[in-house]
Chain A
Amino acid sequence: MTRECALLLPGVCAALADPRQPGSDDTCLEKLLDWFRVLTRFDPTVNLVQDNPCLTEFITSVLALPEPSPSVLSFALRLAGILASSEARFQHLQQEQLLARLFGRDGPLNSALWEDASVRSGWVAGVHTMMHHQPALHFLCNGGGIDVIFTLQGDPSLFVASAASQLLVHVLTFSVESETTNSLSTTDCDWPACAQTIIKHIEDSLQSSSASHIEQSLKLLTSLFGSCRATWTKVLWLGIAKQIKSFLMEETVQVQHMLANLLLKMAWSPVFSDTEGSFWVLVTSALEHLTPVQAGPLAVGLLSLNKCPQDVRMQALTVLLQPMDCILRAASQPLEYPGLLDESVSDPAAVESLLSSKSSCASLLCQTLAHLEQLLSLIHLPVDLPYASLLRSLLAILQFCNGFLSPASPLGSTISRILIHCFRVQKSALDVLAALSERKGCDALLGNLFDVLLAYLESPNTSPTVLKKAFQATSKWLVHLRDLSCSDSQWQRTEKILEDVFLVLQKRLCSHCWEVRDSSLEFLTVLIKCLKDQDEFRQSLLSSEVPRLTENLLEDPESYVRASAVTAVGHLAFVTYFAPESPVTGTQYNKENTIAKLEEILSTDSEGFPRRAVISIFTKWLRQSQLEDTEQFVSRVIQIVERDLDWEVRLGGLELIEVFRSQTISQFGLRECPYAPVSSAVTSSAPWNEPLQTLCRAKLFGFLFRSLCDCDKPLGQRACDILLVLKGNFYPTGTPRDSQGTEDSPAKPSIAWLERTLRQGSLAHNFPTDGSNGVDFQDPESMMLALGTIDFEDLHDELNRCSDHMEKSPQSLLQDILAAVGTIEENEADCY
């Protein structure tokens, strides 16, 4: 603790303990506690409390108050816990007899203040932080604290109840691990006293008939097995396994829903997963006995495990796929396709009844689909899914949802009735469909797949959000189609699909709903990004109306659509103007017109999004070296961008500069990396001259230096980064800074002024915009001098320093609290 803080602390403590003060700001108290945590973390000594007696005095005075405010009392409890976290300080507080008064029977525990949840929460938090040494454990156990925690497990405040449960887990773990000398064997039940109390409590609760008590213990066990992987947990488990198993089989107590999570946590723990026997039998039994909705999360968890017995995995797969199997069976004639599952291993009755109920059908399907997506997103899936059947089932769901499927069974009719226009299921199914595109084995179904997708893209009943998902799935499968080996028939099919897609896209681009226009443009952009090298794609695209309609949307009234249109047109250029083999005719814009149009948007559009899109497209074009006369182009763009009110556009401008810099430097053979060896070709006199002249003509230095003082900090940082790189380009390491013959430069005074200005920090307002102070940002010599003289490293550090580094210090926190008190005192004075 600094001296300043030590001086301020007594005042703060006195203020906090002053009952006349209104309740202090909770955030301040939290920050104060954080500070104490930092102070005590690596210092177990008693110094902190000894050197600052005000801390114990504070606690004493809070305890002495007849009616302390709950927040201050809670603070005191938590502070005491932090202080007592080391044995030495614990003993110190014990000597002062504070801990028993805070956490014992005579403390807040038995006062009216206990009614306040924040006090109970403070008590639990205090005990939790304290619980790092034996004396604390004994203090808790001997003082009856454990029983209090048991009671708090059922606290009406969920926060307190959860904290109490966590605390019990911590106490149990700490007790077993600190008090046991020999490792426990399965037959040895010699638990330490405290652990024994807790374990007995768990066992008793599990055997009670109260569902809430059982739930509390199950929660506790779930969190214990989730956090502690020690072997003794298995000993504990053996004592209760039978009881847990009975919950699965008997329906007298409704706690089945909690078992999946418990078993999953256990399955992740090496203590249980390694064992051959009983645990996995129980898991299998759970998969059988839990309802499909309860078993789903367990099944998907098990399937993502690497260490899971094969038979359990198959069982989990059965649970997960059963709803999909039911759908497939309901949708198709018997024996038309093989189902997803072998009928002998699955009893579909439960799933069928859930699927035929209006209230559960959609939620069961959505849960299953979410789980499938989760599984498919794993790169290494430890189990092989029957992808083709899964796809068939997904297509059936999607067709049920748009009413295109005539069901072949009574169950099918019921499901179809429930699912029609169910957007939730449509979205989930399309997500899985997209994820499935990366798996193999579905190629035989591509025809059906695109029929369904096109029906969704075409249907006016498709909602905009579903349409977006349909677009995403379509783009993924179109990419998949590209990757297939190309036979003639394949090629024809691809061509037909693309033709249909563009026909639909054409209509969607004219939609009256801006969300649809926007997602159509995004879809187009994705397609171009992924497929622009494919001939069929380019031909289909260019022979459709899509390019022209896209360019029309540059004038859309909705700014998001304009922004997406800019991006799409930008990407379209790679297929049209920038692709020498496919000249485009007949569109409104040629290359020059398009650039002019985008520049117009950049300079005149009233909304930020389209302007941001333009600058990012320009950068992309420049990076891909698609432009001629880049110097002129960059200069024009920079002049537009530097006046922009949107900082993201200006930042985009800096990115453009960086790309231009990099290209200019490499174009003139300068070293991109300041540490690279100097090539002989450029060691001639003033190698920097030409590139620097180019950069100056592009007018980027003015913008760079001005950005250093921009009120939006990211700009300053980026500009500084670029200037540092430029400095490295023109003053390679080892080159003396002022060796370029600029000692007597007439520009020197103005650059000195520039340096002074920059040093004063953010001076955006008085930064010269007209160069009246004599800095000529287009003069290579001046710029060379500026790069050489100004200490960008230092500037860089300053810019990167957090703007609130002053306000974050503990000293300022203490001052803040005192200042708040001061205000009160002043007000009091005013009252007289």
Chain B
Amino acid sequence: FFQYCLSGHPTLPCNVLKFKSTTIMLDCGLDMTSTLNFLPLPLVQSPRLSKLPGWVLKDGSTFLDKELKECSGHVFVDSVPEFCLPETELLDLSTVDVILISNYHCMMALPYITEYTGFTGTVYATEPTVQIGRLLMEELVNSIERVPKAQSASMWKNKEVQRLLPAPLKDAVEVSMWRKCYTMPEVNAALSKIQLVGYSQKIELFGAVQVTPLSSGYALGSSNWIIQSHYEKVSYVSGSSLLTTHPQPMDQASLKNSDVLILTGLTQIPTANPDGMVGEFCSNLAMTVRNGGNVLVPCYPSGVIYDLLECLYQYIDSAGLSNVPFYFISPVANSSLEFSQIFAEWLCHNKQTKVYLPEPPFPHAELIQTNKLKHYPSIHGDFSNDFKQPCVVFTGHPSLRFGDVVHFMELWGKSSLNTVIFTEPDFSYLDALAPYQPLAMKCVYCPIDTRLNFIQVSKLLKEVQPLHVVCPEQYTQPPPTQSHRTDLMIDCQPPPMSYRRAEVLTLPYKRRYEKIEIMPELADSLVPLEIKPGISLATVSAVLHTKDNKHVLQLPPKPPQPPTSKKRKRVSDDVPECKPLKPLLSGSIPVDQFVQTLEKHGFSDVKVEDTAKGHIVLLQEAETLIQIEEDSTHIICDNDEPLRVKLRDLVLKFLQKF
């Protein structure tokens, strides 16, 4: 078993598993942190951004000043943002048979894989994953395509040039692999290769492997996967949550008895408890609005936003915020809010029961009805007519590099009354804010990451007890900024096996068994012989028939009749020739008794020597050696066939035949 690790990002994994004869890709996350090196894409002409000075090298050379701009001591690439793809060189991705997707955040690189590598297989994902994944891709493509940029910078990527750049550009990895965003047709083509699956549905892959998605409790339709054959079970845990939020709870029981458990997608902020953060979010929001300021929440169009809206639904009246408008701006805002209400079977129990009342499972329906929450596809159009301040705006993208959020950062950044509250944990908020400096607006970091924390992981591992754990290397040591927090790492026995980007792991598990079926007629013909109490043996002579990774033992063909005619034997006969069977021997030879027997039969000069593996019986006169070992006996005599046969028969007396 091999695991090819194509992504180094622990929460945006992309691994390929060679399991038996199949090649399975587990997730294809897209690392978007590369976009933080680029200048934001403003929706309306931003004089501030366009006036940023070009970057000049220490020696005064200015050849990069068109590509790189400087803002408050940081250098940014002035070009269309690019993304860091999973490794494509480690193995031939066209050989991937299937791709298993665990949640909508972990499929953002899908078009790059399916449309660029010659991939011909199938992608498996749940329906909400596909639908919401589509929304995320649509929003991404839309946000980038609506701000066309004439210029595309590539000079800085030259290795010689990159070395001269200031950090973090200098240290950016694999810049040559960075790609521009895919297009909508590519998204559609990629999504058309997806086959929808439901939780606990068993999917056979070529008869060799069965894969099953399980609820992971993290997002609508999010799954963990079980990949198993008859004797091996690999669990793939990615982005799971034990908290009670909107999705169906995590199915832990089915992960038991795994030989290998691949663990990815743990919380990115292990020190921030999501409940505390939601509280923090509400307090800061209320405080800002009460002081007459606006609140900007950069977010994805699906996921935690549902929980935030639900929390605010309960909170706004108590906090006296009933008159403050909440705006949700995204090209897919409407679809996201509506989709969430129709995936009843994927929701937690509480929300499912609401559907039968019938009531909308999420209270944001009521917020919309009462006009407290309004949603718009973009800042243009209706929004500009309805816009009232102070207000709260939810919009993307959380990297602050593209999407409507760029506009609000430019608009509200100058006033200290306003607050931007970061709730998505994917981007460092300080890096995200860097091109907007100097900034008067208040910044609050309340990352809400409901994925498993290390305490929960340790409980989970105790509960499901996998034989081996495989995880990204980041999880095997404390976070670099808090090296004393040894509680913030995976602690299990045996210690987890870790991987990093572009590494190939041999999974610590050997195949020992394969299941083979025996045809009934063949089974009928077997006559087991009890060789020890409770253990019976039978010899089987059969033809092993293997097709679609299924193995069947069939009756051997009848021994060929002695040729009645002198016709030439057909060479192309595909039935293998069947030789007469020799009996199998079992048992051991007690040396003392054997010597006595030899003496009875007239060998008087018997000598026994002990060796490391057994004994050598020496018949000096006959110049013959009998080598007795645990699993073999050799009679060595020079060209005296009658003697050999005699000795053989004496040996055989001590052994059982069947």
Contact = CB atoms under 8 A, between A and B. Distances in A.
A490 interface: no
Interface in A409-466: 413, 416-417, 420, 459-462
Interface in A731-749: none
Contact of A545 (B271, B280, B284, B291): B291
A510 B282 contact: yes
Nearest to B487: A417
Interface string A489-527: 000000000000000001110111110100000000000
Given A460-B273, A460-B277, A545-B291, A511 B283 contact: yes
B625 interface: no
Nearest to B318: A557
A555 B282 contact: no
B320 A403 contact: no
A511 B482 contact: no
Interface in B311-326: 311, 314-315, 317-320
Nearest to A405: B484
Contacts of B483: 406
B280 A403 contact: no
B318 A508 contact: no
Given A420-B487, A506-B287, A511-B283, A461 B276 contact: yes
A570 interface: no
Nearest to A511: B283
A691 interface: no
Interface in B283-308: 283-284, 286-287, 290-291
Interface string B475-509: 00000001111110000000000000000000000
A45 B264 CA distance: 88
Contacts of A406: 483-484
B208 interface: no
Interface in B235-273: 271-273
Interface string A546-561: 0011001001111000
A780 interface: no
A339 interface: no
Given A405-B484, A460-B272, A460-B276, A555 B320 contact: yes
Given A406-B483, A461-B276, A510 B271 contact: no
Contacts of B276: 459-462
A436 to B, nearest CB: 26
Nearest to A561: B318
B279 interface: yes
B140 interface: no
A416 B272 CA distance: 17
Contact of A552 (B290, B446, B484, B486): B290
A511 B279 contact: yes
Given A459-B276, A460-B276, A461-B272, A510 B484 contact: no
Nearest to B312: A512
A510 B290 contact: yes
A556 B287 contact: no
B283 A510 contact: yes
B278 interface: yes
Which of B277, B311, B314, B318 lies at the interface centre, i.e. has the most chain A CB atoms within 10 A of its CB?
Answer: B318
Contact of B278 (A403, A405, A510, A512): A512
Contacts of B317: 557
Given A460-B272, A460-B273, A508 B487 contact: no
Which of A461, A507, A510 lies at the interface centre, i.e. has the most chain B CB atoms within 10 A of its CB?
Answer: A510
A548 B291 CA distance: 10
Contacts of B279: 460, 511-513, 516
A126 interface: no
Given A406-B483, A461-B273, A512 B282 contact: yes
A407 interface: yes
Interface size of A as a range: 20 to 34
A510 B484 CA distance: 33
Given A406-B483, A558-B318, A460 B287 contact: no
A513 B276 CA distance: 10
Interface size of B as a range: 20 to 34
Given A417-B487, A460-B280, A552-B320, A510 B311 contact: no
Nearest to A553: B320
Nearest to A508: B283
Interface in A556-591: 556-558
Interface string B571-595: 0000000000000000000000000
Given A461-B271, A461-B272, A407 B283 contact: no
A507 B287 CA distance: 7
B309 to A, nearest CB: 14
Contacts of A508: 283
A816 B482 CA distance: 73
Given A460-B277, A510-B319, A403 B283 contact: no
Given A460-B272, A460-B273, A545-B291, A413 B486 contact: yes
Contact of B485 (A403, A459, A555, A556): A403
Contacts of A511: 279, 282-283
Which of B272, B278, B486 lies at the interface centre, i.e. has the most chain A CB atoms within 10 A of its CB?
Answer: B486
B373 to A, nearest CB: 17
B625 to A, nearest CB: 63
A512 B319 CA distance: 8
A407 B484 contact: yes
B404 to A, nearest CB: 27
Contacts of A556: 318
Nearest to A460: B276
Contacts of A461: 271-273, 276
B272 to A, nearest CB: 7
Given A461-B273, A508-B283, A413 B320 contact: no
A545 B287 contact: yes
Contact of B283 (A405, A420, A507, A514): A507
A510 B320 CA distance: 10
A606 to B, nearest CB: 15
Interface in A97-129: none
A673 B485 CA distance: 69
A462 B287 CA distance: 19
B272 A512 contact: no
Nearest to B314: A512
A607 to B, nearest CB: 14
A425 to B, nearest CB: 15
A462 B283 CA distance: 14
A405 B486 CA distance: 12
A507 B276 CA distance: 13
Interface in A456-484: 459-462
Nearest to A406: B484
A405 B145 CA distance: 48
Contacts of A405: 484
A555 B317 CA distance: 10
A167 to B, nearest CB: 51
Which of B314, B315, B319, B483 lies at the interface centre, i.e. has the most chain A CB atoms within 10 A of its CB?
Answer: B319
Nearest to A463: B276
Contacts of B277: 460
A507 B484 contact: no
B417 to A, nearest CB: 12
Given A403-B482, A461-B276, A510 B287 contact: yes
Contacts of B280: 460, 507
Interface of B: 271-273, 276-280, 282-284, 286-287, 290-291, 311, 314-315, 317-320, 446, 482-487
What are the 6 A-B residue pairs with the smallest beta carbon separation, nearest first?
A460-B276, A406-B484, A510-B286, A512-B282, A510-B283, A460-B280
13 contacts: A403-B271, A403-B485, A406-B483, A416-B485, A459-B276, A460-B280, A461-B271, A507-B284, A507-B287, A510-B319, A512-B283, A513-B279, A545-B287
Given A510-B319, A545-B291, 19 more contacts: A403-B271, A403-B482, A405-B484, A413-B484, A417-B487, A460-B276, A461-B272, A461-B273, A506-B287, A507-B280, A507-B287, A510-B282, A511-B282, A512-B283, A512-B318, A514-B318, A552-B290, A556-B318, A557-B318
